[in-house]
Amino acid sequence: MEIVRQSDGVVQVSGHLHISDAESLRSALIEELKAVPSLVLDLSQVESGDTASFQLLCSARKSAETNGKGFRISTPSPAMRETSAILGVSLENLTVGVDGKQEKV
């Protein structure tokens, strides 16, 4: 897994998201969410993601919501889409606007 800050508020995560990376992804997300009013997570380069990483995305959404920050997932890769479909997690539902309200992608 690799986490790259592309610009302010946009972070790209790429590679395989495995439970063993969950802790580093968690700290990265905490830090990024602290720094900006709204965070966009670019998942276009993710090759695979496991349940733990999906759970972490849910957690990030919750954090954003409680802290009044925005959070959005952009262009999920086909692998991420497939996994989210299997798990029954709607990536769209993971989006929160800056005001803490859910927003459509």
Q: Which is nearer to another protein, 30 or 105 (CB)?
A: 30
Q: What are phi and psi of 84, to 5 degrees?
A: -65, -35
Sign of the Cα pseudo-torsion (27, 6, 100, 17, in order): negative
Q: Which one among 11, 56, 80, 91 touches another protein, defined by CB under 8 A?
A: 56
Number of residues this chain uses to bind another protein (CB under 8 A):
27
Query: CB-wise, 60 or 73, nearer to another protein?
Result: 60
Site string for another protein, 8-47 (x = CB under 8 A): -----------xxxxx-xx--xx--x--------------
| 86: contact with another protein by CB under 8 A | yes
Give the contacts of 1 (CB within 8 A, at least 6 positions apart): 13, 14, 15, 16, 17, 18, 21, 24, 25
Q: Report the alpha-carbon distance of residue 74 to residue 68 in Å, rounded.
A: 19
Q: Which is nearer to another protein, 44 or 51 (CB)?
A: 51
